[in-house]
Structure formats: C-alpha cells, structure tokens
Structure 1
Amino acid sequence: MLSSLFKSILSVGCALWRFKLQLQRWTLFVTSMGVTLLVFIQVIMRYFFDVPLYGIEEVAIYLAVWSYFIGAAYGAHQKEHISASLVDVFLPEGLGQMLIGMLASLISVSVSAWMISWSWYYLSWTFRRGTVSVDLGLHMGWVHSAIFLGLLLMTMYFFIDFLERLFQIFQYKKVSSKRETL
C-alpha cells in the first residue's frame, strides 16, 4: 500500500518535472522567436516604409529579459552555465576535484539564493508602487517576475547539483574505504 502510494507520488513528481522543463523550453522558443520577429518587423517598417512602430522595442526588450532569465535557469539545469574549470587541469581526478566541485556548487546555491531575496524585494516593490512601462503602460511586474522566477529555478538546479556532488563524495569515500580493507 505505502509502496504504491510512494510510486504514484514519484510518478506525479516526475511528470511535473518534465512539464516544467518543457514549459521552460517553450518559453525560450516563444520569447526568442518573438524578439526575432519584432526586430524584423521594426526593420521592415522603419527602413522600407519609413514608419516607426510605436512600442515595439519595449516589447522586444521585455521578451528578451524573459529569455535571458529562463535561459539562464535552463542552462543551470543542463549544467552548461558559465564556470571556470581550471581545477580539472591542475588537480588529478579524485576526491580533491570532487570537493572543489562541491564547494563551487555550494557557492552557486548561496549566491543565487541571496539574489532571490533581492529579486523578491524588487518584485514586491514593483507591485507596491504599481510601476508601469513608459511607452505602452505595461505593468513592470510581468517583466520583473522573470528575474525572480529565473533565479528561483537556478537556485533549485544549483541545489540539486550540490546534492548530487555531495552524494558522489560519499560514494567515493565508501568505495575507497572498501578498497583499503581489501
């Protein structure tokens, strides 16, 4: 009974995880295509018809902000974010390299978690003030929520990476202690 309940919860969790990743990919595609299309339309309107389209730059910038932060989160999930991997060059494979990697993951989690608090304050300030964009009067909460959501996702992915590295170290120590007893 308990085993089947656990399997059901796990299966729902996995489905939600896949849906979240699919939603991130979809958001990246839509925002990237939107920016491309808007810039293309603006170039055609401005240089061929000599008629600037009002507010198009504003919408393109806001789509780009969503693309940047969701893209950064997706890059963190794929472990393709920017990192300085000089440790791989100087340290031989083994526990030292694993510990440095875990420390780097811990720093990433800490910094991104700290940035979440700042982005939350910024987002809540935006909603309290009712800040709107200059050209189109769009509520800036829609734009600033991308910062908060992107950092929230990045922190979650960095935390998962930290846990994976921590478990790898425990596995490494377990295997190396078995070798010493042989």
Structure 2
Amino acid sequence: MIGILELATIFALWLYMLGAISTSRNKEHLTVDLIETFLTNPRARAFYEVTRSVIVLLITLFMLSLAYHMLGWSLKRPQTTPALSLPLLWQQAPMLAASVFFVAYAVRDILRALAGLNKTQETAEG
C-alpha cells in the first residue's frame, strides 16, 4: 500500500499530458467560438486564425521555457518521492514532453493558418 499515491500521481500526470497532447494535435484547445461566430468574412476569419495560432505559440514557448527550467533545477538538486524513492523527474518529465509537442503543433497551426490566409488573398485577387 505504501507508494500507491506516488504511483497514481505519476501515472495521472503522464495521462493528463498525453491527453493534452492529443487535444493539441486535434486542434481542440483554446477555442473561442464567440469570435468565430461574428467573423463572416473569410479574410477576417483567416487573419483571426493566424493571430490565434501566434498567441498559442507564444504561450507554449513560455510553457516550454518553464518546463525546461524546472527540469534543469531538478537535475541540479535531485529529489525522490518519500515512500518509493522514485526520482521526481518521473513527475516532471511529462510537462517537458508535452511542451515540446505543444510548440510543434503550434508551429504547424501557424503554417496552416498562413496557408489559409494566402488562399483567401488569392481568391480575393482572382
């Protein structure tokens, strides 16, 4: 029975972050339907997508920086869990892993949004 809470916490953090990676991959995060409802112009909607994607990238870069520094601090001052003496890195690593995926998906979303903006511009010109 000793250490069950520690194992549950480690597994929960990994599962939470894997779920967050999945929602980021499917672009189901940070959506504001109210703004999209009012945007009827395709060009304005495409510009909104670019803006939203850039904001998400900035937030994910900040999260990546925090996770990197947290992991660096943990490597300098290693700690273990009280009952099972597992390294706390097992609890902190999912944050860094998820942050890397978040940044990658944010870059992907920016490229897609820019392609959509370019497409609406070509349609308006042609």
**Residue 128 of structure 1: aligned partner:** 76
**Partner of 1:89: helix, strand, or coil?**
helix
- Structure whose CA Rg is larger: 1
**Residue 71 of structure 1: aligned partner:** 19
1:90 aligns with 2:38: yes
TM score, norm. by length of structure 2: 0.94
Deviates more, 1:88-97 or 1:109-118: 88-97
**Which of structure 1's runs of 4+ aligned residues deviate more than 4 A?**
none
CA deviation profile, 1:111-165 (whole Å, cap 9, x unmatched)? 1011101110000111110111122110011221110010110111011011100
TM score, norm. by length of structure 1: 0.66
Q: C-alpha separation between the residues in 1 aligned to 2:124 and 2:14?
A: 45
Report the Cα offset of residue 106 of structure 1: 0.4
**Residue 21 of structure 1: aligned partner:** none
**Residue 62 of structure 1: aligned partner:** 10
* Structure 2: gaps of 5 or more residues: none
**Residue 177 of structure 1: aligned partner:** 125
Identity %: 23
8 Å CA contact 1:87, 1:97 repeated in 2 = no
* Structure 1: gaps of 5 or more residues: 1-52
Match of 1:168 among 106, 112, 116: 116
**Residue 149 of structure 1: aligned partner:** 97
Q: C-alpha separation between the residues in 1 aligned to 2:47 and 2:75?
A: 42
The CA RMSD over aligned residues, in Å, is 1.1
Larger relative contact order, structure 1 or 2 (CA cutoff 8 Å, min sep 6): 2
**Partner of 1:136: helix, strand, or coil?**
coil
